[in-house]
Chains A and B, each alone.
Chain A
């Protein structure tokens, strides 16, 4: 699919006829990006892939249709510590993916308020609540000792993944 759509060429010498239809604007569904970008997006399939709202929107929608998954001040103008936060985020996501195997319904949201680290996760209902509470305490103590800061894990169980689109 050629980017920009098809625009009928008007020669510069003859102005368009008074009754002529103006040229159609470029097709908004065809973005000016290269058609091979694969970053953070689920590419079109046969219609059997169920994706959540988070997965359905590509990264240029962040700030417009999507929010941020990790909230900290490292990336602001004149603030330091972006790399450390990014490393901590990567470790935390892998750790939580392993602590709650197969239970995470959506991406984990990490919030940092001062020293406190708040982790908000959506889980499925495969495990009984007693085991979930144990894993919650385990994760909080271990991460608290590891990062030397108070860690609070806020879990919420949902019946299942909510599909936004079928791609």
Chain B
């Protein structure tokens, strides 16, 4: 019987519309980013592949256009050490550390979108994975160089300079 049922969250129109305390509205102009370049480094390629799927999905859900997803070649750092504590120079041991990379490039973001996306993606960064972010900002040309200098200067009469 739905007639007597009262929905828990429903109120009359007398109350003010609820404002979400997490959403802030400000009058400052948004910073615009032309490109957001995220470089993710890790030892395990499978972890990076799954992180790529997650980051691309998150960007699509937020409506951010992904320019390209690049996979630069891995770097291997190798070193050779002596195998024994004392003497035995001919017997060595080799170790290597492999770093796999993943580069995500997102284009045309606003400052708040970039902040939200980066916070979400960084909070879910797996352990053992590092991230570097490069932002390319778009700014208006400053006023003093908007017009070329030779248009504004007064006409100077040419005088002969005797050396």
Contact = CB atoms under 8 A, between A and B. Distances in A.
B127 A76 contact: no
B75 interface: yes
A77 B127 contact: no
A2 B75 CA distance: 34
Interface of A: 34, 39, 63, 67-68, 71-73, 75-79, 111-113, 118
Nearest to A67: B44
B77 A77 contact: yes
A79 B129 CA distance: 11
Contact of B127 (A34, A75, A79, A118): A118
B7 to A, nearest CB: 39
- Majority secondary structure, B binding face: strand
Contacts of B137: none
B60 interface: no
A76 B93 contact: no
6 contacts: A39-B93, A75-B97, A76-B97, A111-B127, A112-B128, A118-B127
- Majority secondary structure, A binding face: loop
Contacts of A68: 43-44, 128
Contact of B128 (A34, A63, A72): A72
B35 interface: no
Contacts of B129: 73
B99 A76 contact: yes
A78 B129 CA distance: 12
A34 B43 CA distance: 27
A112 B127 contact: yes
A118 B41 CA distance: 21
B98 interface: yes
B132 to A, nearest CB: 8
